[in-house]
Amino acid sequence: MPSKQYRKLGCLDVNPTGGCAFEVRAETEEEVMRLVADHAKHAHKMDNPAPEMVKKIKGAMKSVSVTV
Q: Which residues bind Zn ion (CB under 5 A)?
A: 11, 20, 22, 43
51's enclosing H/E stretch is helix 51-60
Rounded to the nearest whole angstrom, what is the least distance from the CB of residue 3 to Zn ion in the complex?
27
Question: What's phi and psi for 16, nearest 5 deg?
Answer: -60, -25
Q: Which is nearer to Zn ion, 11 or 33 (CB)?
A: 11
Q: Which is nearer to Zn ion, 43 or 66 (CB)?
A: 43
N-to-C CA span, the chain: 8
Q: Are 1 and 66 in contact (CB under 8 A)?
A: no
Select 1 or 21, whichever has its Cβ closest to Zn ion. Answer: 21
Q: What is the closest distance, in whole angstroms, from the C-beta atom of residue 44 to Zn ion in the complex? A: 6
